[in-house]
């Protein structure tokens, strides 16, 4: 997987590059000091995965995430920051980030988060997950949806919302991986969400 590191702190960029390049399944293909540089880099090199800081000059990570996901939807983005601000979390997820983790995590934890997101799953550091769950439950109370989902679709979206891959869901429900993939595609269309990350957020927001 090709990784782009975006952070306005040169020491953090260099440290992350050394850390990630030690892993056989990841290669750091570039670094950027702000969101604008990251967007321009994506236009030319198309990384698979981005570690994105939030507070940066010229363009912050929230706006950069929005622009990159709108133009290059297949690029996966993990927000890596020192900030646990509720509004940042909400906006980053709304703009398409697949994860939100803190710089205080261990090196092994950061690498594991990269692997989780590279497989198409979502990842949130424990402290962030508690904030997210509380925030989404508040929003859920303001809405009432007649989803008209089948029992099997409820099972599938539940497992997606809990971060399981198609292979893990197929093992849990004794279905083929292709069948699970079809169910996920049906759910995306029925609920009018664009990708697996938004499907997981939909589950937390309206169903859990």
Per-residue pLDDT of the chain (208 residues; tens, 9 = 90+): 999 999 999 999 999 999 999 999 999 999 999 999 999 999 999 899 999 999 999 999 999 999 999 999 899 999 988 877 777 777 877 788 888 888 888 889 999 999 989 888 888 776 666 666 666 665 555 444 556 788 899 899 989 988 888 999 999 999 999 999 999 999 998 888 888 888 888 887 767 6
Q: What is the DSSP letter of 120?
A: T
Other C-beta atoms within 10 Å of 183: how many?
22
Query: Any idea what the Cα angle at residue 89 is, between residues 126 and 100, rounded to 5°?
Result: 50
Predicted structure pTM score: 0.67
Q: How far is CA 207 from CA 36, 123, 136, 146, in A?
A: 36, 19, 10, 11
Cα–Cα distance between 50 and 30 in angstroms, integer?
A: 10
Question: Residue 140: enclosing H or E segment and its boundaries?
Answer: helix 126-140
Are 37 and 61 contacting, i.e. CB atoms less than 8 angstroms apart? Answer: no
Q: What is the DSSP letter of 155?
A: H
Q: What is the DSSP letter of 124?
A: E
Cα–Cα distance between 149 and 67 in angstroms, integer?
A: 32
What is the sign, positive or negative, of the torsion defined by CA atoms of 119, 67, 161, 122? positive
Other C-beta atoms within 10 Å of 79: how many?
29
Cα–Cα distance between 28 and 190 in angstroms, integer?
A: 37
Query: What domains are defined for the chain?
Result: 2-137 (3.40.50.2300), 143-207 (1.10.10.10)
């Amino acid at each position: 997987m090709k990784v782009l590191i975006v952070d306005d702190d040169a020491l953090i960029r260099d440290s992350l590059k050394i850390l990630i390049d030690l892993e056989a399944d990841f290669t750091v293909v570039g670094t950027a000091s702000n969101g604008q540089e990251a967007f321009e880099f994506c236009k030319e090199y198309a990384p698979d995965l981005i570690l994105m800081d939030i507070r940066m000059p010229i363009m912050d990570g929230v706006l950069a995430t929005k622009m990159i996901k709108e133009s290059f939807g297949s690029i996966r983005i993990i927000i890596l920051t020192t900030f646990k601000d509720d509004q940042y979390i909400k906006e980053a997820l709304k703009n398409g980030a697949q994860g939100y983790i803190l710089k205080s995590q261990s090196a092994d934890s950061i690498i594991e988060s990269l692997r989780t997101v590279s497989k198409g799953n979502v990842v949130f550091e424990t402290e962030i997950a508690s904030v997210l769950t509380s925030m989404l439950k508040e929003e859920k109370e303001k809405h009432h949806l007649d989803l008209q989902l089948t029992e099997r679709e409820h099972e599938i979206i539940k497992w997606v919302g809990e971060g399981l891959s198609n292979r893990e869901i197929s093992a849990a429900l004794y279905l083929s991986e292709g069948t699970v993939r079809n169910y996920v595609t049906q759910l995306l269309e029925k609920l009018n969400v664009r990708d697996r990350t938004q499907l997981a957020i939909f589950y937390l927001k309206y169903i859990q």
